[in-house]
Structure 1
Amino acid sequence: MLAFLFVDGWGLSQDPRSPLQALDLPTLQALTGGFSSQLFAWAYRVLDATLGVEGLPQSGTGQTTLLTGTNAARLLGYHQGPHPLRRLQGLLREESLQVWSQARGLEVIHANGYRQEYLERIRTSRRNLLSAFAYAARSAGLELRSLEDPLALAPAFWDAPEKAGERLARLAERHDWVVLENWALDYFAHREPDLLPQRFSELDRFLRGWLEANPSATLLLTSDHGNAEEPWHLQHTRNPVPLIVVGPLAATVPPMSSLTDVAPWVRSVLGK
């Protein structure tokens, strides 16, 4: 049982101006050794998000890499975002963790709740409006749920973050694996960086709720590229991103150094 909490746009920074250094984030700080840049613990890794390609990392290629294990930026020769285009769509349809899981009969939930008007836009648009995570879910035949669906979770802006974290824990215990895509940090880093402290605090409290629920499931948290850790500008960064694994499967996490390392590990633990 695994929950994949994807947090868009969160890199690591030791700059004293960074929210990671300035804010009180007790849960995140405990899980990462104070956002260390060192690979000091078996449940925490620091991943390169540049994928060996020049330019600033982007969501389309970063997320596709996380979900397939294939270096999507190197495949294209550049970083692409925010929504995967034709070549990345083909890769997700063939190699994403969601499609792989469905082929093996695993029970998977894409837990994001969407506004009804957004779901309608997706249905009628001639171009892809989905993130790589949502595109992979739809490619696997998973339902994209409305916010009113009893199995859906709001991806951000939780009124009670601890209770939302507990809900994800209980959902994960009832399925082979669950995906929740949190886009708030990236969104606010691009548009309203002054509000990032609230978003980081919500994430910290969400994780506290998961931990206090003491679930039998494992939580995997990672990101696709840096952004919110440097709110003094509105661009992505080339900073590494964190990977945190909490729960029974944490002891099985091998050495990792890149976004390409995540999908192979997920396949190894879910394939047993």
Structure 2
Amino acid sequence: MARVLFIFIDGVGIPPKPVFENIPLFSPGLNEYPRELPREGLAVAADARLGIPGLPQSATGQSTLITGVNAPAIMGRHVSGFPGPTLKTLIGKRGLFQRLQVKGIPRERLCFANAFRPIFFQKPRARVSASTFHALSAGVPLATLKDVSEGRALYHDFTNRPLINQGYPLPLLSPCQAGKVLARLTQKHTFTFYEYFLTDLAGHRRNFPMATRLLRDLEEMLFSTLDHLTLDETTVIVASDHGNIEDLERSPHTTNPVPVMAWGREKEKILRVKSIQDVPLLAEEILTLKGLHLTAMPTSVTPASLHKPITRTTSP
């Protein structure tokens, strides 16, 4: 059975020259891409600008990573923060969780690995991240802190440190322990999605010690995840939405390309990725059930066309 783990890391671009030392996954500069990675992985540099002037932003970048549709082109600009009505419609119609269900993958085989505090459920928010809306709109359950305590989910800070500081009775996890949890979730599902956004926060704060620590922890967590997975059945994909943390001399995002990394069963397919728009289509292709074939998202999508249903397709 094919499985995909998709780890979205917010705000990590590829610098022209190396910035961080001794962090193999994140240290190299652009001239070293495409490249091989530790644990027999591969990485390519992907365009995050998508043909639209200006600095790539979170709402449109993440919507693109989730849908395979050029969200900035639909909006006519890069949109920051959380998705509004048009992007929510895009995600609700074209998101990976939705499309995989159309392709025949049961909802219970889909996992959004991020957990949320009780206040999120007590006081629902009108504005949520693209990935959170992705799960909500597809009926994929949101995990709670009880799930974290029982090893069935991870908080966005996978160590649980901020939650412990707030008084929640949770274990302090090392990056290695968090990676083991994520691997276990991946083994139990066909498609697992995990979001990590502290990297973008470090970039906006221009905090080099924080950035270095987060990238080291991320690398350790990723290696642990890989070490606890059966990679002949699983493909691990790591991608970002835009640059930021690689240029701490400035607070805004960057126009740098972003890394897309892959390990496991179908890792060579990552070499076909040219932009972040390609990443979700690749994940869908890997998971396409026998007898079905991938129907690529149209290159020119308008807000009106988002209301057209996705139909089940079969191979001739």
Q: Does the pair score TM above 0.5? A: yes
Counterpart mapping for 1:1-272 below 5 A: 1-16=3-18, 18-19=19-20, 23-26=21-24, 28=25, 36-40=31-35, 43-103=42-102, 104-106=104-106, 107-121=109-123, 123=124, 125=125, 127-128=126-127, 130-149=128-147, 150=150, 151-158=152-159, 159-191=173-205, 193-194=207-208, 195-216=210-231, 217-272=234-289
Encode CA deviations 1:153-208: one digit per residue, 9 max, x unaligned. Answer: 12225230011112211211111010100011001221362411111111011112
Shift of 1:37: 4.6
For 2:16 and 2:49, locate their aligned partners in 1 and report how far apart those are by CA, in whole Å.
Answer: 18
Higher gyration radius (CA):
2
Q: Structure 1 stretch 161-170 or stretch 91-100: which is displaced more? A: 161-170
Kindly provide the CA deviation profile for residues 188-234 of structure 1, in whole angstroms up to 9, marking residues without a partner as x: 22136241111111101111212322433221100000001111221
Q: Is the 8 A contact 1:37 1:46 kept in 2?
A: no
CA distance in 2, matches of 1:33, 1:214: 26
- The Cα shift of 1:70 comes to 0.8
Q: TM-score, normalized by length of structure 2?
A: 0.77
Distance of 1:193 and 1:102 partners within structure 2 = 41
Identity level (%): 31
- Shift in alpha-carbon separation, 1:44–1:192, aligned structure 2, 3 A: closer
| Cα pair distance change 1:141/1:2, threshold 3 Å | same
Q: Say which is worse superposed, 32-41 or 184-193, in terms of deviation.
A: 32-41
Deviates more, 1:133-142 or 1:101-110: 101-110
CA deviations on 1:59-83 (whole Å, 9 max, x unpaired) are: 1100111111110001110001210
Q: Distance in 1 between matches of 2:223 and 2:136?
A: 30
Which consecutive residues of structure 2, in runs of 5 or more, have no partner in the other structure? 160-172, 290-316
Q: Tell me, in whole angstroms, the C-alpha distance in 2 between the residues paired with 1:119 and 1:240.
A: 36
Unaligned 5+ runs, structure 1: none
- In 1, Cα distance between equivalents of 2:270 and 2:78: 27
The 1-side partners of 2:29 and 2:50 are apart by: 25
Question: Could you tell me how far apart the structure 2 residues matched to 1:202 and 1:248 are?
Answer: 25
CA contact (8 A) 2:182 2:225 kept: yes
Alpha-carbon RMSD: 2.0
Q: What TM-score, normalized by structure 1, do the two folds share?
A: 0.89
**Residues 141, 189 of structure 1: CA spacing in aligned structure 2 closer, same or farther, 3 A cutoff?**
same
Displacement of 1:148 in angstroms is 2.3
Q: Residues 38 and 254 of structure 1: is their aligned pair in 2 closer, same or farther, counting only changes over 3 Å?
A: closer
Q: Which deviates more, 159-168 or 53-62?
A: 159-168
Letter in 2 for 1:228: I
Are 1:5 and 1:179, in contact at CA under 8 Å, matched by a contact in 2? Answer: yes
Instruction: Give the stretch that moved more between structures: 33-42 or 240-249.
Output: 33-42
Distance (whole Å) between structure 1 residues aligned to residue 206 and residue 230 of structure 2:
34
Return the alpha-carbon distance in structure 1 between the equivalents of residues 144 and 133 of structure 2.
Answer: 16
Cα offset for 1:33?
6.6
Contact 2:58 2:81 in 1 (8 A): yes
Change beyond 3 A, Cα 1:95–1:190: same
